[in-house]
Structure 1
Amino acid sequence: MDPLVIQGFGLAAYAVNMVGFSTKRDQLFRGLLFVSGSLFCIHYVLMGAYVAGANLGINGVRSFVSLRFKGYTWFGIFAVIQTIMSVMVYEGLIDLLPWTASLMSGFALFCLSGIQMRIAMFSCALTWMVNALIVGSWGGSLNDITNATLLAITIYRMKSATEREAGQAAL
């Protein structure tokens, strides 16, 4: 397949993620993660980064499931699935990056909300960014740099709004 088409999948996923990571609405955030995760799955598999692709495919489904279900049990189920799939296609140490990032984001989606969820997703974005730069993914690199930036801004906005509300309540 044409390398530009492969990179196009990553850039399309990047565009969807830009919208998702800039929203303050948890449900919309998770829904858009489903779409972008699916596109990134295709992108990374076509690039030959199979652990990243497998984890992103599972992440897409996981984001969709997290729209309705929460808790440590659901996190545990997906952590086991991701670990098994990662072991099955593991090729080297770089494959630990997408696995680790996927576990972080899974915990965030099933067990956290609000600012705490976004702080965990910020750590996840930095881990994915290292992976994307190593494997040469244009969309992945742009996505994770942008995600980290948007998450930092969104965390700041949410924290500022909480502080404003607390200040108004004190009046």
Structure 2
Amino acid sequence: MAQERKEVATFKGNPLTLVGPELKVGDQAPDFKLQKNLLEAATLQDFAGKVKLISVVPSLDTGVCDAQTRRFNQEADSLGDQVVILTVSVDLPFAQARWCGAAGIDRVLTLSDYKDHSFGEAYGVFIKEFHLDHRAIFVIDQNDKIAYVEYLSEMSEHPDYEQAIAAVKKLV
């Protein structure tokens, strides 16, 4: 059974239980299997040799998640081809594709953790109470070591965009 971390995060002040370990800078990034669409999956190895900024959001159809994904899409141009930005949510791949089309998102790759929540559990962001992934940012270097991590204590708050981008820029 996966580790449970109680009361390390809240949603509008209400305590949440996060399932999985709290990853730290220097840890080897866990592998993952996320859905690009219903038939095609993506793993950590698909992005080998690149710096990976993984932006985890509960659902693209909420204000903060929308803003977070748009912000990283804007930042992508300044980061170059050595960097891939992934947005992970439990939204179905259909919903992710619809949202990206409507929002004009073209530099961020959305991946879905809806099938078995294995990403959420491996990265310590799966919310037991909601079956969503909690807001977090992971920057992973070219050798799949975690270079930056931010687990937000309050789900409805924005991450520190500047710190995340600075962490990426140190690696390229």
Report the TM-score, using the length of structure 2 for normalisation: 0.28
The one of the two structures with greater contact order (alpha-carbon pairs below 8 A, sep at least 6) is 2
User: Higher strand share goes to which structure?
Assistant: 2
TM-score, normalised with respect to structure 1: 0.28
Higher helix share: 1
